[in-house]
Amino acid sequence: MTATVSGPPADQAPSARRGSYWITTFGCQMNKADSERMAGILEAMGYRPGSDEHTADLVLYNTCTIRDNAEQKVYSYLGRQARRKRINPALTLVVAGCVAQQEGESLLRRVPELDLVMGPQHANRLEALLTRVENGQQVVATEEHHILEDITAARRDSAVCAWVNVIYGCNEHCTYCVVPAVRGREQSRRPEAIRAEMAELAARGFREITLLGQNIDAYGRDLPGITSEGRRAHTLTDLLHAVHDVRGIERIRFATSHPRYFTDRLIDACADLPRVCEHFHIPFQSGDDEVLRAMARGYTVERYRRIIDRIRDRIPDAAISADVIVAFPGETDTQYRRTLDLIEAIGFDQVNTAAYSPRPGTPAADWPDQLPEAVKVERLREINALVEKVAGQRSARYLGRREQVLAEGLNPRDPSQLMGRTRTNRLTFFAADPGDGRLHRPGDLVDVVIEAVRPFSLSGRPLGRGEVR
Ligand code: SAH
Ligand code: SF4
Ligand code: F3S
């Protein structure tokens, strides 16, 4: 049999023939990275990718519980699969990720048809857990677990850009957030393991790496070692220096940054290391100091502004994006308006917005001053309109400029076009054919002259391979 794009890597012959699998992923990049590793494990076990959620022999939902609506979505999906399992008991049903961790055994009571409930720390153990299922057990794996170094090649969704976890878990105590409860304590990977994974990805043709952590600035604080100057031996800045020159990797990104731990050294590294892209994702959550204190975020608006000033001082064109929560318990209209003011004042390239959602087991969920749904809806609507306006103003600066775009794939709406992102992370569309018939392909770094700008994307004319840069 010849290898196909979706087949297991040639050096990992399937140990047995099994049926087809389907994975649906909810939530953040950590979940997407976990899903890619779990897909790799399934394929190494002999499963092949299915074409349909409703006919696959194994269905895995990798779930998110960050807000209530994310969680509810899973239950409606599960209801349909449970009915299918009652007709076809051979179906294997798996719930992984953060809802699995949060709910554990109680998920089995709610959906007795489930075969396996597994928390995110167990993603790399999927094969061992499925073996127990094949032996007739119903399995719940949610205990605190030391995350094993990955031994299976992930099945990556993109052939150009890949995620690489550098730190798992989160030790913060933000009063609204379930992540520490579902992802556990911080566990940093060794720099050598991260570099080795990047080198292996480069050898397989990947061009861009995003280093991942819920609080990536915490990288290394759980690793031993002190430098001769008395500093921690392992920080995110040191990691960037240690991996920036992996051959074949053209671009390096990292997320998510935490304003509490963000350092000037990190900004300097980003300015100095040519492959580290000029984009920072630094959630601020609220533009009001009292709300920030109630959230236990550990910084002030003033500190946040100083970070942005410093970035712009060193890297004037840097793109800045963030996450923000509106209608946090007790947030007054005045406090909410400070968040709007900060968005205008900073001029964010992109802001992910959310209305506060009370999460079980988090302190803020029990506070008496919860805001009514109508306030949440109205604040969200207003802030989204502002984010779009400000993003549009930021996009305007690209008009007429020549931008380097890494082609990631075809534009699904127009297959004559490629899409990719600028170094600053703006999605950009351009014709695959620069006019001379020598088509650009995914993985190419293409100079594109920007001719149309929209709040969250750009379009332009690609220069040909031979054209002067
Ligand atoms: N580690 C990152 C974010 C992780 S969760 C950080 O510290 O910023 C992703 C985003 O979801 C958060 O930035 C926050 O804006 C949002 N979020 C988290 N919990 C939420 C809740 N209970 N209600 C609404 N939004 C929430
Ligand atoms: Fe949640 Fe705060 Fe940790 Fe981010 S830093 S994952 S918001 S607890
Ligand atoms: Fe959701 Fe878990 Fe990520 S709760 S946002 S999938 S860490």
Please give the Cα distance from 214 to 319 (Å, whole number): 20
Q: Answer whether 31 contacts ligand 3 (Cβ < 6 A).
A: yes
Residue-wise pLDDT for 365-407, tens only, equals 999 999 999 999 999 999 999 999 999 999 999 999 999 999 9
Q: What is the mean pLDDT of the chain?
A: 93
What's the pLDDT at 6?
A: 38
Name the residue with the closest Cα to ligand 1, atom 19.
Answer: 177
Name the residue with the closest Cα to ligand 2, atom 1.
Answer: 177
Fill in the amino acid letter for 178. V
Name the residue with the closest Cα to ligand 1, atom 13.
Answer: 323
Residue-wise pLDDT for 120-144, tens only, equals 999 999 999 999 999 999 999 999 8
What's the pLDDT at 150?
A: 63
Pick the atom of ligand 1 nearest to 355's CA. 24
What's the pLDDT at 12?
A: 47
Residue 87 to residues 43, 91, 331: CA-CA distances in angstroms?
26, 9, 49
Q: Which residues contact 355 (CB under 8 A, 6 or more apart)?
A: 325, 326, 327, 376, 377, 379, 380
pLDDT at 359 over 60: yes
Please give the Cα distance from 12 to 193 (Å, whole number): 20
Per the DSSP assignment, residues forming a β-bridge with 195 are none
Residues with CB under 6 A from ligand 2: 170, 172, 174, 177, 179-180, 214-215, 258
Tell me the best of 32, 66, 72, 343 to mutate to test the pocket of ligand 1, counting ligand atoms within 8 Å of each CB and taking the most: 66
Please give the Cα distance from 319 to 317 (Å, whole number): 6
Q: What class does CATH assign to 399-462? A: mainly beta
Pick the atom of ligand 1 nearest to 353's CA. 15
Length of the chain in residues, anyone?
469
Name the residue with the closest Cα to ligand 3, atom 3.
Answer: 28
Q: What average pLDDT does the segment 189-196 reach?
A: 96
Q: Answer whether 63 contacts ligand 3 (Cβ < 6 A).
A: no
CB 160 within 8 A of CB 442: yes
Residue range 158-277, CATH number: 3.30.750.210
Tell me the best of 98, 102, 187, 214 to mutate to test the pocket of ligand 2, counting ligand atoms within 8 Å of each CB and taking the most: 214
Tell me the best of 66, 173, 177 to mutate to test the pocket of ligand 2, counting ligand atoms within 8 Å of each CB and taking the most: 177
Confidence of residue 9 (pLDDT cuts 50, 70, 90): very low
Q: Answer whether 30 contacts ligand 3 (Cβ < 6 A).
A: yes
Is 125 in a helix, a strand, or coil?
helix
Query: Could you tell me the distance, in angstroms and rounded to a whole number, from the CA of residue 123 to the centre of ligand 3?
Result: 14
What are the extents of the domains in the chain?
A: 2-141, 158-277, 399-462
User: What 8-state DSSP symbol labels residue 226?
Assistant: B
Pick the atom of ligand 1 nearest to 362's CA. 22
Please give the Cα distance from 97 to 123 (Å, whole number): 8
Pick the atom of ligand 2 nearest to 178's CA. 1
Say which range, 33-47, 154-168, 211-225, has the weakest mean pLDDT: 154-168
Residue range 2-141, CATH number: 3.40.50.12160
CB 207 within 8 A of CB 250: yes
Q: Which residues contact 392 (CB under 8 A, 6 or more apart)?
A: 453, 454, 455
Count of CB atoms within 10 A of residue 374's CB?
9
Residue-wise pLDDT for 12-29, tens only, equals 444 567 899 999 999 999
Please give the Cα distance from 400 to 1 (Å, whole number): 50
Please give the Cα distance from 395 to 216 (Å, whole number): 27
CB 216 within 8 A of CB 171: no
Pick the atom of ligand 2 nearest to 215's CA. 5
Phi first, then psi: give them for residue 434, nearest 5 degrees.
Answer: -75, 0
User: Before 256, cis peptide (omega within 30)?
Assistant: yes
CB 48 within 8 A of CB 7: yes
Query: Could you tell me the distance, in angstroms and rounded to a whole number, from the CA of residue 225 to the centre of ligand 3?
Result: 30
What totals of helices (H) and strands (E) does the chain contain, helices first? 13, 19
What's the pLDDT at 467?
A: 63
Query: Could you tell me the distance, in angstroms and rounded to a whole number, from the CA of residue 215 to the centre of ligand 2?
Result: 7
Q: Answer whether 342 contacts ligand 1 (Cβ < 6 A).
A: no
Give the DSSP H or E segment for 187: strand 187-188
Residue-wise pLDDT for 315-331, tens only, equals 999 999 999 999 999 99
CB 412 within 8 A of CB 370: no
Tokens in use for 75? 């239950």
Say which range, 10-14, 134-138, 293-297, 353-357, has the weakest mean pLDDT: 10-14
Give the DSSP H or E segment for 158: none
Please give the Cα distance from 369 to 294 (Å, whole number): 12
Residue matched to tokens 């695959």? 432
Confidence of residue 466 (pLDDT cuts 50, 70, 90): low
In 279-354, alpha helices (H):
289-295, 301-314, 333-346
Query: Could you tell me the distance, in angstroms and rounded to a whole number, from the CA of residue 450 to the centre of ligand 1?
Result: 33
Q: Answer whether 66 contacts ligand 1 (Cβ < 6 A).
A: yes
What ligand has the least distance to the C-alpha of 103? Answer: 3
Query: Could you tell me the distance, in angstroms and rounded to a whole number, from the CA of residue 214 to the centre of ligand 1?
Result: 10
Pick the atom of ligand 2 nearest to 285's CA. 7
Please give the Cα distance from 446 to 443 (Å, whole number): 9
Pick the atom of ligand 2 nearest to 173's CA. 8
